[in-house]
Chains A and B, each alone.
Chain A
Amino acid sequence: MSGSRLSIVAGAASGLLFGAGLLLSGMASPANVLGFLDLSQPWNPMLLWVMSGALSITLPGFWLMRRRGRPFAAASFAAPASAQVDRRLLAGAALFGVGWGIGGYCPGPALAGAALADPTALLLLASMLVGAWLADRLHSRA
């Protein structure tokens, strides 16, 4: 299999597991997310279970891959966008948290809900892309 075809198969397979996992986990329903974030109501620990389940696979898995030294179908692991903790990271994470706390949607669940033609998720996803575009415009001028 050629490299580009393999990357498409790997991307599609990963997306398939990701989308199925989002639905099964209950994270596509914003009420479950807000039940975790809103401490003024009886607490819903669901998100903690989802995160624990995911990390139980990625922590040992990524460690093994790091030890192997390189991925199976690429020359090296992609370098992160930046290694620094700077104002941009802190401001971005803080803004994301505020939006997450208002709507109960982070990007993955918004994509999964939009794929199922949920009107709320579609509106959130469209606004999210506008927000990302705006951030690019404003930041390139700063």
Chain B
Amino acid sequence: MIQPLAGGMLIGFAALLLYSTLGRVAGASGIAYGALWGGERPWRLAFLAGLAAGAWLAWGLGAPAPQSPSVDGAAPALTIMVAGILVGAGTRLGNGCTSGHGVCGLARLSFRSGVAVAVFMSSGMLTATLLGILG
């Protein structure tokens, strides 16, 4: 419980730092797409480089490395590709993800973000639970 809470607080400080200096929302999907296809590239690229460095730093300091399912074989690879395409299309259409609508949008008391969080939490739980029962 301590590590998830502390990790969450670091993410919160990250979001507050960006909001209080540049007035921008620290949404992972929006920053990634903006760095590729949008304007204001420099700070977005710096954020992405910082994110990579932060992940390495935490890992080097002893945070557990990500445990991910293997993508050896066609079926698991295809599953991850379908998941990725849906995450990409959904966050692009909905203008945000867990960080943009969740960590930042809820803190801005945005009604739109509250609706988005309720919808993706519900569809995420429904999907994972159905797959859990079937699989």
Contacts and interface: CB of A to CB of B under 8 A. Distances in A.
Contacts of B10: 17-18, 20-21, 24-25
Nearest to A133: B88
B-side interface mostly: helix
A84 to B, nearest CB: 7
B84 A126 contact: yes
B103 A121 contact: no
A120 B70 contact: yes
A127 B83 contact: yes
Interface in A3-54: 4, 6-31, 34, 37-41, 46-47, 49-54
B21 A54 contact: no
B28 A108 contact: yes
Contact of B90 (A7, A82, A94): A94
Contacts of A103: 79-80, 83-84, 87
A49 B28 contact: no
A-side interface mostly: helix
Given A101-B124, A135-B92, A49 B5 contact: yes
Contacts of A115: 51-52, 55-56
A20 to B, nearest CB: 4
Q: Which bucket holds chain A's interface residue count? A: 35 or more
Contacts of A139: 93
Interface string B80-116: 1111111111111111011101111111101110011
A41 B115 contact: no
A130 B1 CA distance: 35
A78 B23 contact: yes
Nearest to A68: B20
A39 to B, nearest CB: 5
A62 B108 contact: yes
25 contacts: A11-B43, A11-B47, A16-B57, A20-B7, A20-B63, A21-B9, A24-B6, A28-B66, A37-B128, A52-B5, A54-B12, A62-B19, A70-B23, A71-B22, A74-B24, A78-B22, A96-B87, A96-B89, A97-B127, A98-B90, A101-B127, A107-B29, A119-B68, A132-B33, A132-B92
Interface of A: 4, 6-31, 34, 37-41, 46-47, 49-59, 61-63, 65-66, 70-78, 80-85, 88-113, 115-116, 118-121, 123-136, 139
